Chain A
């Protein structure tokens, strides 16, 4: 449904996206994960026909985004970041306007149907300017769904929402996957983990990793991490743990008396750590294995990337 090959976009001399390639299949939710300024929005704007790429090729629903831009735009539902809306319009009025621009058939029925789908029935006559951020997000989503698009592109759909609203929107998105391709961008890792079938990690305009959330997690499960807390000063605890066999790294956690340790894969560090703490005469308060989250993969990937790219001065 979405095919991207060597896509590059320059803003003046600055590359925003460099030679990225990926695919998304029908029925798939593809996550686009990366820090701010990584090129997520640029890529989405190219895919929705808002701006052309500087080089490379992208097809959406079988149409080239440059040559058949209008055909692409007919088939894509798009919710831009920050959800631009007309505050002086009522919800229904806005949806009718966007729907008639898109020549949606049976417009009244479609409007009623998306209002119901997004739980906006009782807000149909409210002015958009008077709605809360969460409701506006839903209006933006309603607009993107109005023409029953094959491809749905959502730029940061949960940004700025409160936790309850985030869960709501995520559930909504999961419910929309049937028979269409959804691509969503986020800089929140747990979101990509929960919602997406596949995750692309993008940093500084390049794709640095691409896999299922589970595989990405496994990739970095190369290390066993353990969290230890003792009734002692951090320095004292560090000294006590230095002699633990097989320990690769000791990292401070920012909290006094608490450290994060990592060791080689497959080796549980906990028994040795416990013994070392007790032997040093300290009181052990907490000791547990820490799962590797996508978060740390993400941090690691993006950090490495940054270090490689920045020249030594």
Chain B
């Protein structure tokens, strides 16, 4: 576990010294801020939109689908490309410690970005009376955090597969989009739709957590997706040793 922490710390710090992270954050806040302002200045006065703390969460989730693979793409791909993987794997570090450390570092960074978006509900809360439903907001944010955790783990699988970060990005994005689309098939009836509905990336969020409904099965879904991603990434790293 010691190694996990050392690696996570290093990755976390690395995001804050690299321009990529700032560019990503700037891109996100530009879009979110734009959408938020439009809602506040145009939507609210015209009565089309009711004040809601979750106003930015839908665009945020959409952006996250594209941003998380970009955040994870270099984590393992760069180590492979630069040969530094050899350095890490000949230190007394287990393969899973490396993978979990990398994931934890990126999770920490994404948490800080998601935390900043909390400023929007705060503004709405002050603008309106009697304020907004804090319970629903917390539940929705819990959903976002869980989803980010799963997305980053899948992105890491992409990064483990390739030594090119661009390939890693598209692999990660493809996995997220696939899970999203599978969820779309869940709107029908019958067993297949039911399974598809359960596998869908967004469904557990929008059907329950976003509405303030906390259910163990939704939380378990994102946690198992995270676990699966980390497991697969570890297996891929390990398989590199056998080649």
| Interface, chain A (partner B; CB < 8 A) | 11, 45, 48-52, 70, 73-74, 76, 78, 80, 82, 84-86, 88, 97-98, 100-103, 143
Asked whether, in the complex, the Cβ of A101 is within 8 Å of the Cβ of B7, the reply is: yes
Interchain CB contact under 8 A, A45 and B242: no
- Interchain nearest-CB distance for B15 vs A (Å): 12
What residues of A have a CB within 8 angstroms of the CB of B241 in the complex?
50-52
Contact of A52 among B87, B88, B242 (CB under 8 A): B242
Whether B86 and A101, one on each chain, are in contact in the complex, defined by CB atoms closer than 8 angstroms, is no
Question: Which one, A49, A51, A103, contacts B242 given CB within 8 A?
Answer: A51
CB of B93 within 8 Å of the partner chain: yes
Task: Check: B82 CB closer than 8 A to any chain A CB.
Answer: yes
> 1/0 per residue B78-98: CB within 8 Å of A?
000011101111111110000
Question: Which of these, B17, B92, B94, contacts A102 with CB under 8 Å?
Answer: B92
Contact check, B91 vs A88: say whether CB atoms are below 8 A apart.
Answer: no
Contacts of A101 in B (CB 8 A): 3, 6-7, 88, 91-93
Q: Please classify how large the interface on chain B is, using the bins under 10, 10 to 19, 20 to 34, 35 or more.
A: 20 to 34
Q: Which residue of B lies closest to A155 (CB)?
A: B86
Question: In the complex, what distance in Å separates the CA atom of A179 from the CA atom of B92?
Answer: 22
Not counting A49-B89, A84-B82, A101-B88, a sample of 8 additional A-B residue pairs whose C-beta atoms are within 8 angstroms of each other reads A52-B241, A73-B92, A80-B86, A80-B90, A86-B84, A97-B10, A98-B91, A101-B93
B126: CB under 8 A from chain A?
A: no
B86 and A70 within 8 A (CB)? no
**CB-defined contacts of B87 to chain A, threshold 8 Å:** 78, 80, 84, 98, 143
Q: A72 to nearest B CB, angstroms? A: 9
Determine the residue in chain B with the shortest Cβ distance to A78. Answer: B90
Q: Is the beta-carbon distance between A50 and B89 smaller than 8 angstroms? A: yes
Whether A88 lies near B17 (C-beta < 8 A) is: yes
Q: Which residues of B contact A78 (CB under 8 A)?
A: 87, 90
Report whether A49 and B17 are in contact in the complex, using a CB–CB cutoff of 8 Å: no
Residues of B within 8 A of A76 (CB): 90
Which residue on B lies nearest to A86, using beta carbons? B84
| Complex contact A50–B90 (CB within 8 A) | yes
> CA–CA, A143 to B90, complex, Å?
12
A48 to chain B: closest residue by CB = B90
> Which residue in B10, B17, B84, B91 is a CB contact (below 8 Å) of A84?
B84
Docked pose: A85 CA to B209 CA in angstroms: 44
